[in-house]
Amino acid sequence: MIGRRTATVGALAALLPNSSRAQPAWPTKPIRLIVPYGPGGSADQVARLYAERLSAVLGQQVIVEDKPGASGGVGAAMVAGSAPDGYTFLLAPTAILAITPGVRQVPYKSDDLVAVCRLSTALLPITITNALGAKTWQEFVALAKANPGTYWFGSSGLGTITHLTGEVLTRTAGIKMQHAPYKTIVDATGDIFDGRIQMVFDPSFVPYAKAGKVRTVLIDAPTRLADLPDTPTAQEVGLDLKGFANRAWFGLFAPKGLPPTIAQRISDEVARIADTADMKDKLLMVAQFAHHQSPAEFTKQVADDKVYFTALIKDLDIKLE
């Protein structure tokens, strides 16, 4: 009788949906975190800060892999085409999911990537070369107006947040500059040191500003940075960059089909990490502030930003092809 009952229970269990059965443990092997830009930039810095802490709490190594190319498209395509098993993630900025897919051809389908959680929001520093001799934003604007169209601003590629920042900034300030897109923003370092380009906007240049190699003349943030206490905010000089500070984010994405339980586990761990004083301090050192959003919240954010940037690009008549 007992044998018959056991067999019946086993047969019924076999008929239950997969979701009702015990799920395999995760993670059981190292996790790849793809950064679609070169080493040393803001994306790489944020990735390594979170990877170190996630490795500790997940019990498996989170390995950062830099895959630059096509303004982030190479790395994004790699993740979009990966298995949705929780072992490949993309660390992406606003542009890859919320800007460029809507305005030009990209080597990936944004619908093949799902939002996992938001990691941080960038504080956008406006940094100029020392070669000009300008020490303030006002001095730089005066020089740019006296030399229309001869100065260049560098970005990490067409349609990136650094590109759009430059377009909005120059129009708002009433100055004319040319755009120099780089494969990665790190590639612009030597050129701004030597004065071949005159301005960049990436947070990764803040350490160079602290070292005196370049000069950060403004920062688009609610308050001044402790690391650059003499640098005014854009608001302090009357410059409106149209809310870029809140829309310049880094977030985690995964291939479509990622089990919701894995997405929620990652999001919960990120929320705890982002709330620690140590992580907040480390992010501020690279001009980011900790800003977590859950899968649902971040999915809505990405959708809202798509609408915002599509309208902005149309209004500014920016050509991304």
Per the model's pLDDT, the better-predicted residue between 216 and 164 turns out to be 216
* Whether residues 166 and 208 fall in one domain: yes
Residues 44-67 have pLDDT tens digits of 999 999 999 999 999 999 999 999
Same domain for 76 and 103, yes or no, is: yes
Q: Tell me: do 235 and 206 sit in the same domain.
A: yes
Winning range, highest mean pLDDT, from 182-191, 199-208, 296-305: 296-305
Is the pLDDT reported for residue 314 higher than 80? yes
Same domain, 146 and 174: yes
Phi, psi of 113 (to 5 degrees): -120, 140
Residues 263, 118 within the same domain: yes
Same domain, 128 and 241: yes
**Does the residue 10 lie in any domain?**
no
Q: Residue 1 falls within a domain, yes or no?
A: no
Number of domains observed in the structure of the chain:
2
- 240 and 297 both lie in a single domain: no
CATH number at 273 reads 3.40.190.150
pLDDT-derived band at 305 (thresholds 50, 70, 90) equals very high
For residues 238 and 252, state if they share a domain. no
Whether 9 is covered by a domain: the verdict is no
- Which one of 245, 262, 282 terminates a domain? 245
User: For 212-227, what is the mean pLDDT?
Assistant: 90
Structural domain contains residue 284: yes
Both 269 and 279 in one domain: the answer is yes
Q: What is the mean pLDDT of the chain?
A: 89
Within a domain: 301: yes
pLDDT, mean of residues 291-312 = 94
Residue 157's CATH number: 3.40.190.10
104 and 253 belong to one structural domain: yes
Q: Which domain holds residue 195?
A: 124-245
CA distance 321 to 316: 15
Whether residues 154 and 296 fall in one domain:
no
Domain boundary among 245, 268, 293: 245
pLDDT digits (tens, 9 = 90+) for 240-269: 887 777 888 999 999 999 999 999 999 999
> What band does 24 get if pLDDT is binned at 50, 70 and 90?
low
Task: Kindly state whether residues 128 and 117 are assigned to the same domain.
Answer: no
In a domain, 176, yes or no: yes
SS3 track for the chain: CHHHHHHHHHHHHHHCCHHHCCCCCCCCCCEEEEECCCCCCHHHHHHHHHHHHHHHHHCCCEEEEECCCHHHHHHHHHHHCCCCCCCEEEEEEHHHHHCHHHCCCCCCCHHHEEEEEEEEEECEEEEEEHHHCCCCHHHHHHHHHHCCCCEEEEECCCCCHHHHHHHHHHHHHCCCEEEEECCCHHHHHHHHHHCCCCEECCHHHHHHHHCCCEEEEEEECCCCCCCCCCCCECHHHCCCCCCHHHHCEEEEEEECCCCHHHHHHHHHHHHHHHCCHHHHHHHHHCCEEEEEECHHHHHHHHHHHHHHHHHHHHHHCCCCC
Considering the domain boundaries, does residue 270 fall inside one?
yes
Report yes or no on 20 lying in a domain. Answer: no
Choosing from 218, 245, 272, the residue where a domain stops is 245
The confidence band for 287, taking pLDDT boundaries of 50, 70 and 90, is: confident
